[in-house]
Amino acid sequence: MEQENKTTHTIEVAPSLETTHTLDLSDKLYKVMLGLIALAVVFGAGELLYQFRSLPQNMPREIMVSGEGKAYAKPDVAMVNFGVTTEAKKSQDAVNQNNEKMNTVIKAIKDLGVVDQDIQTTLYNLTPMYDYPGVALPMDSGRGEGASFPVYGSGSRVLTGYLLEQQVSVKIRNFDSINAIIDQATAKGATNVGSLWFTIDNPEKVQAEARAMAIAKAKEKLQNMAKASGLSVGKLVNISEGYNNYPQPMYAEGFGGAKDSTSVAPQIEAGQQEVNATVTLTYQIR
């Protein structure tokens, strides 16, 4: 009897390998910071993108040019101020006396051809007047015993009266009557005469001439800039303008007061008035 052969296989199972990952605190903090930075970058980029999309996508490019123009014209009106100053103890007396004098002055001006529309009141001022009495103090300056001198302003103020100032501005269209109007106004009670100056009553025509010159200069400047820079100029989108008139005042020194028989009236010349115009043109650039 044969002996049965048995084969035994022994399988050894290796013990399972365990891998342990250990992160210290500094590594965790580093990763958290990286995450926060990435988050901030994402949100910041989103905000910039939102702002960019909020802007007009086709913002027009523009160029502005300016020009100046001058035009000259002979003035057609003369302007002069007449004033009456009155002092009185009572306010009503000052008003009555001043109005009476000014009415006389205005009547004399009208009698020489000036119409109501060319006379305008520009000042009417009633002011109380005060005195500040001094107090006499002893003084030893060799003047003898009992000498004194006043110290002004050390006492209470005292009302002494009222001062009324009234002024009218007169537009004179007939230059030949300027001297006569000034003479009559002062003779009838005008206590002061303001500066005399000439101007243009309706300056629209001369302003248009100055404006046309200013626009032409601005366009010429635009063409030169476009040629030098290679820009392509589009349509005009805006225009602004301004004006300056330069009336030349003639100070009325020597006009005020009464004239004697030997006085000689000054020679008055209106000359020319300069009108300046400035324009600014805004064009699109293609």
122 lies in the same domain as 208: no
Residues 93 and 235 placed together within one structural domain of the fold: no
DSSP string, 205-243: HHHHHHHHHHHHHHHHHHHHHHHHHT--EEEEEEEEEEE
DSSP state of 69: E
pLDDT, tens digit (0-9, with 9 covering 90-100), for 86-119: 999 999 999 999 999 999 999 999 999 999 999 9
Query: Residue 36: inside a domain, yes or no?
Result: no
Q: Are residues 109 and 222 in the same domain?
A: no
Q: Are residues 220 and 280 in the same domain?
A: yes
CATH number at residue 209: 3.30.110.170
- The answer to whether position 233 is within a domain reads yes
Residue 40 falls inside a structural domain? no
Number of folded domains in the chain? 2
Check whether residue 122 and residue 175 sit in a common domain. yes
**pLDDT tens across 57-68, in order?**
555 688 899 999
Report yes or no on 2 lying in a domain. no
Token pair 């342990």 is found at 20
Q: What is the mean pLDDT of the chain?
A: 80
% the chain with pLDDT above 90: 52
User: Where residue 180 sits, what CATH number does that domain have?
Assistant: 3.30.70.2970
Residue 184 shares a structural domain with residue 82: yes
Q: How many whole angstroms separate alpha carbon 35 and alpha carbon 28?
A: 11
Residues 191 and 207 in one domain: no
Q: What is the DSSP string of 79-97?
A: EEEEEEEEEESSHHHHHHH
Tokens of 172: 């004179």
Specify whether 215 is located in the same domain as 188.
Answer: no
Q: Strand, coil or helix: what is 16?
A: coil
Domain that holds residue 101: 77-139+147-199
277, 243 Cβ separation under 8 angstroms: yes
What is the reported pLDDT for 137?
A: 57
Residues ≥6 apart with Cβ < 8 Å to 185: 82, 105, 108, 109, 193
